[in-house]
Structure formats: structure tokens, C-alpha cells
Amino acid sequence: QVAIHAIGDRANDMILDMYKSVAFENGMRDRRFRIEHAQHLSHGAAARFGRQKVVASVQPDHMLDAADLARKLGLDRVLKGSYLFRSILAGDGDLILGSDWPVADIDPLRSMITARRRVPRGQEAPWNPSESITLQDALNGYTVSAARGCFLDADVGSLSVGKMADFVVLSVDSWEEYEEEGQVSVEATYVGGLEAYN
């Protein structure tokens, strides 16, 4: 499986083109090629992930420094092409969420809220809110999609018969409560179905 780091729109286009060429030359099959970061995309590139069956592995917490990006790349370019989570999902693309630790905070629960709310540091308004994803989408990005993107979906990623039963118990009872509170804590951790933390 190939996974290549790309941040800029040109780099992402080059990799998508290369992956397309590989599929054309060698035939279609379940490769699950990934692009790590996929932060800035050219017009139409978000739809290519689903069409080409390329996995986008993104880190929502990088978006917290979006104001700095706008200064470097220009606000219009950033708003139209950066952190296009909703567009990737809308094009039937697989979206993996991660932290890129130690570059960004390792806390997946905080990152899920960042992907949902999209509010950069020092700002009150969401940044490009049309690209916001639901908390369920974010959870899928850390679980089902992450496992699938690494060919581990037969073993982990969901609570299903025959899988590892790795899961956490949170301090909230619903997504609505989590969304309202914006904070949540891990009450217990289970690994292989056995309690590892309480």
C-alpha cells in the first residue's frame, strides 16, 4: 500500500495523477492508496478521492492555524481549497482523521470537535463552515475509515463479532451532549474486550 505526504494543491494533484496512472497501467483493484494531509486541493480535486478510490488521511487540528494560512496563501484560495472534509465525503471518498502528533495535539476527542466546529485559534466564527463534518463522520474517520484505510477493517474499527473489541467509554451519553459541552473525558478503555483503564 502506498501512502504519500502532500500538503499543497499542486502536490495533491501530482499524486492523484500518479495514482490514476498506476490504476490505468495495472488495472483497477483494491489498493487503498492514501494521501497523508491533503490539506490544500485544487478545484475539483476533492471529488477525485472517491472517484479514484484514494483515501484522504487528514489532521483537523492543523486547521487551528488557518489564519496564518490565509496570510500566506490568500484568503480566497484557502477558503475554496483547504481542509475540504465535507467535499471529500460528498464525493464518496474515504476520510481518515488523525493527529500528526507531535506536530499537533494527540487528543482525538478534541480533534473531532475541531473537525465539527472549524474554529481557528483566536477566532469566534467557524472557518469555511460548509466543510464541517458531523461528529458521526468524525468518529467514523477515527474508527471505521481509519481501519479500512490501513486494510485492518476485518480486525478493528467497529464493534462487530470477531473483531478486537477495542473501545472507550466516554463521560457523555449522546452526541448532542458532547456537541453542547465541547469537552468529554474517557471513563474507561477496553483492549481486546478487557478493561485496561478505569
pLDDT surpasses 80 at 182: no
What are the DSSP calls for the chain, one per residue?
--EEEE-SHHHHHHHHHHHHHHHHHH-------EEEE--B--TTHHHHHHHHTPEEEE-GGGGGGHHHHHHHH-HHHHHHHB--HHHHHHTT--EEE---TTSS---HHHHHHHHHH---TT-SSPSSGGG---HHHHHHHHTHHHHHHTT-TTTSSS--TTS---EEEES-SSHHHHHHH----EEEEEETTEEEE-
What are the DSSP calls for 29-70, one per residue?
-----EEEE--B--TTHHHHHHHHTPEEEE-GGGGGGHHHHH
pLDDT surpasses 70 at 67: no
Render pLDDT for 79-94 as a digit per residue (tens, 0 to 9): 889 999 999 999 999 9
Indicate the residue type of 144: V
pLDDT score of 33: 98
Q: Are 142 and 158 in contact (CB under 8 A)?
A: no
Render pLDDT for 100-119 as a digit per residue (tens, 0 to 9): 999 888 999 999 999 999 99
Render pLDDT for 18-63 as a digit per residue (tens, 0 to 9): 999 999 999 989 999 999 999 999 999 999 999 999 999 999 999 8
* Reported pTM: 0.93
What are the chain's domains? 3-156 (3.20.20.140), 165-198 (no CATH)
Strand order in the sheet with 34-37: 3-6, 34-37, 55-58, 95-97
